[in-house]
Amino acid sequence: MNIIELKHVSKVVSKEFQQVPILQDINLIVKRGEFIWLRGENGAGKTTLLNLILGLLKPSSGEVELMGLSPQSPNSKIRVGVAFQDIRFPTNVKVKELIELFISYYPNPLSTEEILNKVNLKDEENDWAIKFNGGHKQ
């Protein structure tokens, strides 16, 4: 089974009453243990491609599979982790509360205490998450 597979994927978006192609006929296979790097100019479609793979967007045409499943399937997301470039937390949420929110998304998560200890945030668990720097947010 391939980790990621795109078959003839295209994505078209509407901008100012026009259809603008972002990705056209993309074929990609990522196998277990492979490492890939997406590189390109601003506006080349890197973020759109990742959003398709993660199931945040649906392709205009073609097929995307994540671990052999639709990326919209909750079962495909259980073993996927992502560190976004730009993160915006809800306001007025403490670190511990934010971790509790995230672990609620998973069927068998680590405990809040285990996560706080693993990422060395036990002393900051009652701090406001919004005040974290970029590295801490990721």
Asked whether residue 70 is domain-assigned, the answer is yes
Domain extent at residue 60: 4-77
Q: What is the mean pLDDT of each run of 10 residues along the chain (138 residues)?
A: 95 91 96 90 92 93 95 82 70 88 82 92 86 67
Q: Return the pLDDT at 92.
A: 87
Question: Do 19 and 50 fall into the same domain?
Answer: yes
Question: What CATH number has the domain bearing residue 44?
Answer: 3.40.50.300
Asked whether residue 112 is domain-assigned, the answer is yes
For residues 3 and 34, is the Cβ–Cβ distance under 8 A? yes
Question: Do 21 and 67 fall into the same domain?
Answer: yes
Q: How many domains does the chain have?
A: 2
Q: Return the pLDDT at 84.
A: 66
Q: What is the largest CA-CA distance in the chain?
A: 51
Q: Return the pLDDT at 135.
A: 66
For residues 4 and 65, is the Cβ–Cβ distance under 8 A? yes
Q: Which two tokens stand for residue 103?
A: 């672990």
Q: Return the pLDDT at 137.
A: 63
